[in-house]
A and B are shown apart, each in its own frame.
Chain A
Amino acid sequence: MLDDFFARAMLAGLGIAAVAGPLGSFVVWRRMAYFGDATAHAAILGVAVSLAFQISIYAGTTLVAAAMAVTISGLVTRGQSMDTMLGVLSHSALAIGLVAISFVPQARSDLSAYLFGDILAVGRGDLALIWAGAAGVLALLAWRWQRLLTASLNEELAMAAGIDPRVERLLLSIALAVVVALSIRVVGSLLISAMLIVPAAAARGLSRSPERMVGNAVLIAALAVMGGLTASLYLDTPAGPSIITAAAGFFALSQVFRRA
């Protein structure tokens, strides 16, 4: 089955869906949408760095995305006005990444693969990395679940229970960087934060507890992957954007059937 490019694409997408559900829920709960954008855009710079230094794309993008995420979370801790700062960082990271990548000849030709993903070109090695990385992030989230949830709900309540919100924020930032790196081949730098936010936002209206929301987000993300990939095969549309389009469709439906 793994010999078939479509099956590999499907499995890669489902691996991302499994981790985008819970992590995307935290992005929604903590109002980190712009934060996700900035981290994802930094991935393009990560690609340029990886190609220039001839290291693995996954390692390079994880490092650069993590540096961006940790920088932002440090700024949040110091309580600066975030809206403008995130806008500056997010778009600058993208622009600098695009400029940097233009100096790397072999990357210019497949720039769109990094911007929008190239899920149909996912190999066995990519697949193994995506699932291993997803499992690692899921294990981290499961281990810290009660703490992460308390810190996301209210930092004062978390501190009173002996939880340091800065630690939880840092862990989420690192998890985000890993997921950004894993997703770059699947949906591309520009649409990673959509993959995180759209299924979780769709799940919000259908869920009465945080755990249900995570479950629903995973389900919606998985359906979006299956629907989007299948559609892209028959309609010959780009795979990553098709997946997000399907997720957006689920979001629209969820607004009609809101419960809570």
Chain B
Amino acid sequence: MTALIQARGLTILRPGGSETVLQGVDFQIRPREIVTVVGPNGSGKSSLVRALLGHMPLAAGQVERRPGLRIGYVPQRVQVDTTIPMTVRRFLSLPRRVSDRDAARALARTGVEGVEARQLTQLSGGQFQRVLLARALLHDPQLLVLDEPTQGLDQPGIVAFYKLIEEVRHQTGAAILMVSHDLLVVMRASDRVICLNGHVCCEGTPQHVSSAPEYRALFGAEAEGTLALYRHHHDHDHDHSHDHHHHAGAH
């Protein structure tokens, strides 16, 4: 198959309940693609990611990962407990040990060179996210999975982080799957956006999604902002109707 991950008809139940978190979701990501999943809180974004990684039991559907697929993962809200003393260098060697040279190179690539001896708990939010990204890049991943990677960053930090993600894609050729709240920035950085709310509400290019009624119904005023962005930058694109067959999902 050409896709790195292909999923069909994913249905996931809330742990210990019969309520569905996700219902009948189809998904795929191809090499070098940047795909972003947006959706309100509780829309099943993280569950989708965890199911794609195989961390979550499926009530129905199937996930196929390309055999031997190397995935670099930055989970949501990594809280490092202050009870564990841990330098950045030691953290990069968990669970697989890496050489000092590879560690230094990964840190340099994400713009945090020289922090090896620092304790994880002494890093700022932005530095910590970059260290997590460096760790995810260590074993030459074909796919990077980032779940809310900019949580806790300020606006300039968010913009800088997405710039870094694009650089990483450019340098490594890894495909990137992101879950995000940062509608405006994400819209610019993605090849494809999936708008999720228990099912796929709409899906397609950022331009397409930002003008889709389902997306605007979910995000309201914030959606107007991203639409304005595209009106402004892509006026000439907007009459095209070929995007509209992308509307998908079980309503």
Q: Which A residues are within 8 Å of any B CB, using their own CB? A: 28-29, 31, 78-79, 146-147, 149-150, 152-154, 156-161, 163, 204, 207-210, 212-213, 260
**Cross-chain contact B55 with A207 (CB below 8 angstroms):** no
**Cross-chain contact A156 with B94 (CB below 8 angstroms):** no
| Alpha-carbon gap, A260 to B118, bound state (A) | 10
| Alpha-carbon gap, A59 to B246, bound state (A) | 65
Give the residues from 133 to 187 in chain B that come closer than 8 angstroms, CB to CB, to chain A.
Answer: none
Interface of A is mostly: helix
Q: How far is the CB of A203 from chain B (nearest CB, A)?
A: 9
Among A150, A154, A213, chain B packs the most CB atoms within 10 A around the CB of A154
**Cross-chain contact B78 with A157 (CB below 8 angstroms):** yes
Which of these binds chain A: B19-27, B34-42, B81-89? B81-89
**Cross-chain contact B53 with A158 (CB below 8 angstroms):** no
Among A28, A31, A210, chain B packs the most CB atoms within 10 A around the CB of A210
The 8 closest A-B CB pairs, nearest first, are: A156-B75, A160-B73, A150-B95, A146-B95, A150-B94, A29-B84, A207-B85, A159-B55
**Cross-chain contact B87 with A209 (CB below 8 angstroms):** yes
In the assembled complex, 10 residue pairs joining A and B whose CB atoms fall closer than 8 Å, in A order, are A29-B83, A146-B95, A146-B96, A152-B84, A153-B80, A156-B73, A157-B94, A209-B85, A209-B87, A260-B119
| Alpha-carbon gap, A260 to B122, bound state (A) | 9
**At the interface, yes or no: B90 with Cβ under 8 Å from chain A?**
yes
Q: How far is the CB of A7 from chain B (nearest CB, A)?
A: 35
**Cross-chain contact A147 with B95 (CB below 8 angstroms):** yes
**Cross-chain contact B85 with A163 (CB below 8 angstroms):** no
**At the interface, yes or no: B71 with Cβ under 8 Å from chain A?**
yes
Per-position 1/0 for B86-130, Cβ under 8 A of A = 110011001111000000000000000000000100000000000
| Alpha-carbon gap, A74 to B55, bound state (A) | 18
| Alpha-carbon gap, A155 to B170, bound state (A) | 30
Q: Which residue of B lies closest to A162 (CB)?
A: B95
Q: A161-B95, A161-B96, A209-B90 are in contact. Are A156 and B78 (CB under 8 A)?
A: yes
